[in-house]
Amino acid sequence: MGYNPPVPALSISEVANQVGLRASALRYYEQIGILPPAERRSGQRRYSLEVLYRLAVIQRARRTGFTLDEIRRLFVGFAKRMPVSERWRKLSQQKITELESMQKEIQGMQRLLRDMMAKCHCDTVEQCGRGIFRSDFESKRSATNREHPRKIRRT
């Protein structure tokens, strides 16, 4: 029989300090199933070094825009025999598609803001609102009427 050195048992505060999180975040991650339940010694949570590596994955995923639900899928949402690299690829491709869509939305918002900065010379909110209404709603209504003319009933 070989010698098995003791596994370091890190307290929740030691883990939290090493990865830059609050202890409450670690407890929450356990609660939602992203971290496995910690071993208990004298009622206190004790973690192995493995939890630091798992937290590194979680933090990288958070920095790249993954939600906690998506991160949970990385850990438990695939067949156990699927390698983590394949899981990352699948989830990353979905996230890239989502981010590209968000990027288009952001670019549209930026165009709208630049347009407002260039064209708005209003003194009141009402004046501004009138201009926005005409720009956004009346132009759409007239375009719709041109595409689908219909009789307007007058009463």
Q: What is the pLDDT of residues 40-73, one digit of tens each?
A: 988 899 999 999 999 999 999 999 999 999 999 9
> Given this model, what pLDDT does residue 138 score?
76
More confident residue, 152 or 100: 100
pTM: 0.70
- Decide which of 1.10.1740.10, 1.25.10.10, 2.60.120.330, 1.10.1660.10 is the CATH code for 7-77: 1.10.1660.10
Q: 1-5, 19-23, 64-68: which range is least confident on average?
A: 1-5
State the first-to-last Cα distance of the chain, in angstroms, to the nearest integer: 98
Spatial neighbors of 125 by CB under 8 A, at least 6 apart, are none
Domain boundaries, the chain: 7-77
Cβ contact 120:131 at 8 Å: yes
Strand partners, 44: 41
